[in-house]
Amino acid sequence: MTYAITQTCCNDATCVAVCPVNCIHPTPRERAFGSTEMLYVDPRSCIDCGACADACPVDAIFPVDALPAAQQEYAAINAAYFAGREPEQADTGPNFHRWSAPSFERGLPSDFAPIRVAVVGTGPAGMYAAEDLLLHTNAEVTLVDRLPVAGGLVRYGVAPDHPATKKVGDAFARFHTHPRVRMHLGVEIGKDITAAELAAHHDAVIYAVGASTDRRIGIPGEDLPGSISATSFVAWYNAHPEVAPDAVGLSSERVVVAGNGNVALDVARILVTDPSALAGTDIADHALAALRASKVREVVLLGRRGPEHAAYSASELLALRHLPGVDLVVDDRDPRTGATIDGSAEDGRAALLRGLARETVDWSRPPAPGRRIVFRFHSAPVRVLGDDTVRALRVTGDQGELDLPAGTLLRAVGYRGLPVPGLPFDEATGTVPHRGGRVTGLPGTYVVGWIKRGPSGGIGANRACAAETVGTLLEDAVAGALPAPAPAPKAFHRLVRSRSRHVVDARGLAAIDRAELARGRDDGRPRVKFGTVPELVAAAKGGRWRPSS
């Protein structure tokens, strides 16, 4: 029985590397790699060995006959990708496939001396870079993060009802205690130490600081209370220590989400999911309590353009269709919406909405009974209405502007990078200018992930991104272009400790992990996160934090 790749595919191509018969595509050497939403198993070539399932870091691969009920359609989705294509199989039998010629893109001299590399950021981009250095060179790696806990977007960006996706963090965690790794968490560049000081103690520095803020819509009233960035909302339900427990209110029956990408679908799904289904996840305690008391019954997903341009992935939309007790409705007041859905090719984006109920929604009336998500296209935000809080959102429509009554607006129009003190910054793109990951004008300084390429691509896209940056770094090292650090290796540790009493190392991170897992066991959950910096630091030191009186 063949295997199939399902919704939680992270695209990092670990499965491709272990497949003995080259039946998973697109591979990193194929042009389509990075442009498809997921990878696919060719059922005509799969030999049912299970190597891919064993290697998958996010448990996204199953035998077709063992697919969970909500994912059985992925057998057909995998097969459809290969429809009309010749199988990657030679005539000599199923175990012999046309492999591309071997390629050795890197070469290090046998006397390559160990280098010291600092990686700023412990999310996927930073950890893929660290993994590459640790597995393929003799580099010594210093991991730095401004928060006192590692994980980045794996910890604070993945929705709590996607536990399989979070498992990629386990693959990264094995490097936290690597003998050539030193960890300094709770250290902020530009505040605790400067970029110049960090560079002076290392041969090279890789910045993997992501895109930590949101893009603006740019309309009047955007800053009214009740208008919240999806970035903050996601951080709120994931117990990010920089977002207050009371930052989100759910007292209105209707919430409008401006945007229709995967983040928009994530926040919509969390808002209408039965809280009892979230009680067994690692969702923040304050978020779970708020959702249990929530009055939200309807979430409107607002798209500026038509359904053929929707930014969400097919897998994320399919996940919505399996939400128990939640109706999905397409507002077809604009005739272009229904015409586009009906006229779309089978593999078109708009075709994903076929089979959903359609309704000419009367926005002057309260939400219909029950819980539902409404897709509204060809509708751009114009103005947020309200005096001291959000009352409605004025949007465009086929017959002019109209007001959508709502007490909350979630802005999900994209992430944006922030300047790093001491590094150049492109305000237009929200990224650090670079060439192949090498920061312009700063020898020995590199970038990876969203701060390098902009906020695009999921977790797995960072593997190829990191490979490029690390390759550039090693080219510079071989060419003697890296500035040699003057201080001794232990000097950086002393510098950091002199600037902050609350630095967390690998031992402290392990203590946080044990404490959160123990709290989870007490509540019948996978873990219960600490939601403040003092709590995290206290747990790292093996104690219990108590607020001052």
What per-residue confidence (pLDDT) applies to 90? 38
Token reading at 127: 């950890």
Sort residue 546 into left (φ over 0), alpha (ψ -120 to 50) or beta.
beta
Mean pLDDT of 232-242: 97
Contacts of 237 by beta carbon, 8 Å cutoff, 6+ apart: 159, 160, 270, 283, 284, 287
- State how far the alpha carbon of 456 is from the alpha carbons of 158, 364, 431, 465, 524, in Å: 15, 37, 12, 11, 35
Alpha helix ranges (H) inside 181-260: 195-200, 230-237
Per-residue pLDDT tens over the stretch 386-407: 999 999 999 998 889 999 999 9
Upstream peptide bond of 26 is cis (omega within 30 degrees of 0): yes
Measure the CA–CA gap between 446 and 198, rounded to whole angstroms.
13
What per-residue confidence (pLDDT) applies to 88? 55
What per-residue confidence (pLDDT) applies to 86? 73
Average the pLDDT over each of 51-60, 133-142, 483-492 and give the range with the smallest value.
Answer: 483-492
Per-residue pLDDT tens over the stretch 59-68: 999 999 999 8
User: DSSP state, 272?
Assistant: H
pTM here?
0.92
**CA nearest to 9, candidates 84, 66, 62, 50:** 62
Q: Does position 477 have pLDDT exceeding 90, yes or no?
A: yes
Bridging pattern class, strands 392-395 and 402-405: antiparallel
Measure the CA–CA gap between 146 and 131, rounded to whole angstroms.
20
What per-residue confidence (pLDDT) applies to 456? 86
Per-residue pLDDT tens over the stretch 296-306: 999 999 999 99
Query: Model confidence at 489, in pLDDT bands (50, 70, 90)?
Result: confident
What per-residue confidence (pLDDT) applies to 96? 47
Mean pLDDT of 237-246: 96
Mean pLDDT of 333-355: 92
In the chain, pLDDT over 70 holds for what percent of residues?
95
Give the torsion through C-alpha atoms of 500, 504, 507, 510, to 10 deg: 160
Query: Model confidence at 92, in pLDDT bands (50, 70, 90)?
Result: very low
Q: Does position 543 have pLDDT exceeding 90, yes or no?
A: no
At 346 the three-state DSSP class reads coil
Q: Which domains does the chain have, with CATH numbers?
A: 3-81 (3.30.70.20), 116-212+417-503 (3.40.50.720), 221-408 (3.50.50.60)
Per-residue pLDDT tens over the stretch 13-38: 999 999 999 999 999 888 888 888 89
Measure the CA–CA gap between 295 and 403, rounded to whole angstroms.
20
Q: Does position 261 have pLDDT exceeding 60, yes or no?
A: yes
Distance of CA 311 to the CA centre of its chain: 15
Per-residue pLDDT tens over the stretch 165-210: 999 999 999 999 999 999 999 999 999 999 999 999 999 999 999 9
Q: Looking up tokens 């910054």, which residue turns up?
A: 425
What per-residue confidence (pLDDT) applies to 382? 97
What per-residue confidence (pLDDT) applies to 35? 83
What value does the mean pLDDT of the chain take?
Answer: 92
